Amino acid sequence: MSKRDYYEVLGVAKTASDDEIKKAYRKLAMKYHPDRNQGDKAKQAEEQFKEVKEAYEMLSDSQKRAAYDQYGHAGVDPNRGMGGGEGFGGGGFAEAFGDIFGDMFSGGRAGGPRGGRQVYRGNDLSYSLEISLEEAAKGKDAQIRIPSWDNCDTCHGSGAKPGTSPKTCTTCGGNGSVQMRQGFFSVQQTCPHCRGTGKIIPEPCTTCSGQGKIKRQKTLEVKIPAGIDDGMRIRSTGNGEPGMNGGPPGDLYIEIRIREHDIFERDGDDLHCQVPVSFITAALGGEIEVPTLQGKAAIDIPEGTQAGKQFRLRGKGIKGVRSSYPGDLYCHIVVETPVKLTEYQRKLLRELEESLKKGGAKHSPSGEGWTDKLKRFFS
């Protein structure tokens, strides 16, 4: 099943501002709310909402949006979101409306690692790292800058302005969850007022806007294993976004992009390269030098080598991360037609042609077969 474009899902332009994206999300969230979609429509509305929610989560995060703009769905990892997004009871509607109403009413998010009833794992982050083919073959220690969250120094993580303190949420009595009726069922949902923390911050800390955490940058050392291939991902456990209410942090996924190489094309563990050979060498045979990732190698070209012939250099490919042996290097022969000939060279070639004609089809490996095919085609 192909995934719909996130912008299309939200019905916004690719150039939409954060505000426009948020507005579109709210509108759609209201549309698919269970209160308005009872009975037969409930299941479908829930599915549609999940799609909308995922699109919003991706496009409202500038890093994920950038990754999505560049690589499409391959650039972002929507699963493992907060609460798993399963149905109404988990991180589905309840959490989304917590998001929306939280913004509208509480004036700041209640943060802090303690006291919450509803525990959410942090979102995973995705990072795209471009490396060269040589680096992919040999492996590399890379340093990347990623966002990290520290406890706010001003409020020491409480999210409350110094001198004030968080109060117990009156909506849920500090439980962090409320009972909601959905058709026949009574469902426990995250309290939309305090977002599950059980606490309200009357005066949010101005340094962190009540989040209790400050976003910074940190440098992460990443070991890229030798043989890694384009599109592979390395997981860095716990380096994603922080969890909520004491939940564990998400993971960071480093997605490897391998830059196009001037000479080699990779196919799994094998490498391919095009090697130009003069038509004289192709006709007479001879030794030619070919490049390998490790340096140079020589190939003996036999007499009468045709264009497109390939020579395999065993073990001169790449040893994949899960392979026991390196792949091979395939050199594809490209026979070159000489250009910018002098009068003398032209004369030599004409003489050569005359001489070849006298020999008839025997000088042309595809000659007789080709003549037969033409005869059949035109008859």
* Binding site members: 152, 155, 169, 172, 191, 194, 205, 208
Annotated binding residues for Zn(2+), written as ranges, equal: 152, 155, 169, 172, 191, 194, 205, 208
Give the residue with the Cβ less far from Zn ion, 148 or 278. 148
**Which residues pair with residue 151 across a beta bridge?**
213
21 or 205: CB nearest Zn ion = 205
The residue count for binding Zn ion (CB under 5 A) is 12
From residue 315 to residue 354, the character string flagging contacts with Zn ion as x (rule: CB under 5 A) and all else as - is ----------------------------------------
Name the minimum Å distance from CB 150 to Zn ion.
11
Closest C-alpha to 306, from 338, 334, 272: 334
Distances in Å between the Cα of 227 and the Cα atoms of 148, 264, 322, 329 are 29, 15, 8, 15
Cα dihedral value 282, 287, 293, 295, nearest 10: -150
**Alpha carbon of residue 232 to chain centroid:** 9
Q: How far is the CB of 179 from Zn ion (least distance, A)?
A: 12
Nearer to Zn ion, 64 or 109 (CB): 109
The kind and range of the H/E element at 99 are helix 93-101
Query: Is the Cβ–Cβ distance between 307 and 275 less than 8 Å?
Result: no
**Measured from the CB of residue 157, what is the shortest distance to Zn ion in angstroms?**
7
Helices (H) and strands (E) in the chain, counts: 9, 15
Q: Residue 273 interacts with Zn ion (CB under 5 A)? A: no
Binding mask 136-175 for Zn ion (x = CB under 5 A): ----------------x-xx-------------x-xx---
* Minimum distance, C-beta of residue 215 to Zn ion, in the bound complex (Å): 12
| φ/ψ of residue 283, rounded to 5 | -75, -45
**171 Cβ contact list (under 8 Å, min separation 6):** 178, 191, 192, 193, 194
Q: Is the dihedral of CA 131, 136, 138, 143 positive or negative?
A: positive
CB-wise, 9 or 201, nearer to Zn ion? 201
Residue 75 region, left (φ>0) first, then alpha (ψ -120 to 50), else beta?
Answer: alpha
* Closer residue to Zn ion in complex, CB, 65/193: 193
> For Zn ion, which is the closer residue by CB, 48 or 154?
154
Closest approach of Cβ 319 to Zn ion, in Å?
Answer: 50
Contact flags string 183-222 toward Zn ion, x per CB under 5 A: --------x-xx----------x-xx--------------
The nearest distance, CB 236 to Zn ion, in angstroms, is: 27
Q: Which amino acid is at 56?
A: Y
Q: How far is the CB of 94 from Zn ion (least distance, A)?
A: 12
Q: How far is CA 376 from the centre of its chain?
A: 53
The answer to whether residues 271 and 330 touch, using CB atoms and an 8 Å cutoff, is: yes
Cβ-based nearer residue to Zn ion, 193 or 266: 193
**CB 207 to Zn ion: min, Å:** 4
Residue 172 vs 275, nearer CB to Zn ion: 172
**What are the strands, taking DSSP E only, across the chain?**
125-131, 140-151, 167-168, 177-182, 185-190, 199-200, 213-224, 233-236, 252-258, 265-267, 270-278, 286-292, 295-301, 310-313, 329-336
Binding-site ranges for Zn ion (CB under 5 A):
152, 154-155, 169, 171-172, 191, 193-194, 205, 207-208
